[in-house]
Structure 1
Amino acid sequence: MNAILKPPSAAMHPDEWKARVQLAACYRIFDLLGWTEMIYNHITVRLPDSVTGGQKQFLINPFGLHYSEVTAGNLLKIDVQGRKLDDNPWPVNPAGFTVHSAIHEGIADAHCVMHTHTTNGLAVACTQGGLAQNNFYSAQLHGLVAYHDFEGITIHADEAPRLLKNMGDKPVVILRNHGLLSWGKTLPLAFVRLWTLQRACDIQVAQAALGPAIAVPEAVAVKTTHDSFQFDAQFGAGQDVFDALVRRIDRIDPSYRN
C-alpha cells in the first residue's frame, strides 16, 4: 500500500498524492453507487497546509471526464477562484466550483464538499416538505439538514452569502429543486453523511407509493441522532465504511491510483 501511495515524482508532496488517491477512489465509489451525472457534479478536497504552505488550493475532477475515468494523476489542482495551478490539459467547470468554493471559504472545517443529482435525492429536493422524519436514516439526521432555495445554475458568486446563511453549521444540505450536498472535515465523514442522506431519500421515495408513513417522534429522532455512532470520530467517522468501499474498488479496477 505504501508503494502505491508513493508520489509519481519527487516534485509532488506525499500528502498531495495521498489526497489525490483518496479523492480519485471516491469518484470511483460514486460511480459504483450510481451517484453520477454524466460528466457533471463534483467532489472537491482542500489540500493540507503541509502541501500549500497555507495557500488555499483544491482538487477537483477534470471537466469532460466521467467519474469512472478519474485518476489520482488527472485530478485538477485549482485556487479558490477555480483557476488551474498546473499544466493539466482538462478544463474546470466554473458552475461546478462556485458552490464548493463558497463552502470551502465560508466554513473552516469544510475540507471536503460533495454534491449529487441522484434521482431520489433530487425528487425529495423538489418536494414542499423536504426530508421526512419517518425512517431509520432520516432519524439520524435530526437537526443536521439545511435547505437552500433554487436560484438557477450555480455560476453566480453573489449566491454564496445566501447559501452560507441558509446552511449555518449544518453538515448536509438539500438544495431545493437541485440535489444533495454534504461537507466534512475529512472526506470519509462527508461521504458517510451524504450516504445517510441518500439512503433516507431512497426510502422516502419508495415509501411514498405505499400511503401515509409512520412519523418518527421528535424525541426519538433526537435520541437516534445522538446515538448514531457512524459520524463520531471515536468510531471512525466514516473511515471504516469508506475503506471497505475502497477495497471493493481495488478488486474491480485499481486504475484510479494511476
Structure 2
Amino acid sequence: MKVRVFASELEAATACAAHIAAEVRARPELVLGLPTGRSPINVYKELATLHHRGELDLSRATTFNLDEFLGLPPDDPASFRAYMERHLFQHVNLAPERIHFFDGSAPDAEAECVRYDAAVAAAGGFDLVLLGIGPNGHIAFNEPGDSALATSHRVLLSRETRQTLAPLVGDDVSRVPMAALTLGVAPLIQGRQVHLIAFGASKAAAVTAMVHGPITPRCPASFLQLHPNVSLWLDAVAARGLQRG
C-alpha cells in the first residue's frame, strides 16, 4: 500500500482530490466508486472547488455510490443520494444519466442488489474507488463478521457504525436507519485504483489492522492487502499505529 501521511485532514483531503482530478483529466471517461459519511466531505468540497476553477470536468465520468440506507427514497434528506447532492452533485457537471445509486426504497432489496451489480459490471467495473473506513474496519457497509460477501447485499448496521453516522442526521443515532444496501467486497478490491481516506483518532486502530493485521472478514478493509494499487491518504493521528520506515 502507498501510505501518504499529512499534518491535517484538510491537507490529506486536498491532496487526494487533486490526484482524483488528475486521473479524470488523463481519462475523462473514468468509472468512479464514491463513498459517503463524514470522511469524504472535504474531498468533495475540494473537487467542487477544482471544477469551479475550470480544473475538473466530470461530464464524461460515471459514478456509482457504494451504499444507501434501506427504506429511504432518494429525496429523503437523510438518504445518501441527498448527501451526494448536497456535497458534490450540485457543484460539478456530472451528467445525471451517468450517476448511479442503489434505490433504498426498492420493494425487493435482493432484486435491487442484482440490478446494481449488473450495472457496475456493464460499466466495466471501477477505474477508481474512493473509500472511507469505519472504526470497526468496515468498507462501504461491509461490516465485520465470519465471512465477507462478494456481491451487493442487504446489511444490518452495527451500533458502532450507526453512531459514526449520527453527525449526518443531527447527532441523533435513532434517525440512522438500521439497515442498508451495499456493494460487496469484490467490486471494491477489483477496482483498478483504490484510494482510502482516514482521519482522526477513532480510525487509527482500524487503519493499523488494515495494513498490519491478518486478512480477515473481522476487518473487511484488510482485504485491500490483496490489491496491487492501493493508496492511503491519512492524517497523522489516523496513521499513528503504522510502522513506517
TM-score (norm 1): 0.28
**Bigger fraction of residues in helix:** 1
* Higher normalized strand content (fraction of residues): 2
Determine which structure has more spread, i.e. the larger CA radius of gyration: 1
- Which TM-score applies when normalising by structure 2? 0.29
**Whose relative contact order is higher, 1 or 2, with alpha carbons under 8 Å and at least 6 apart?**
2
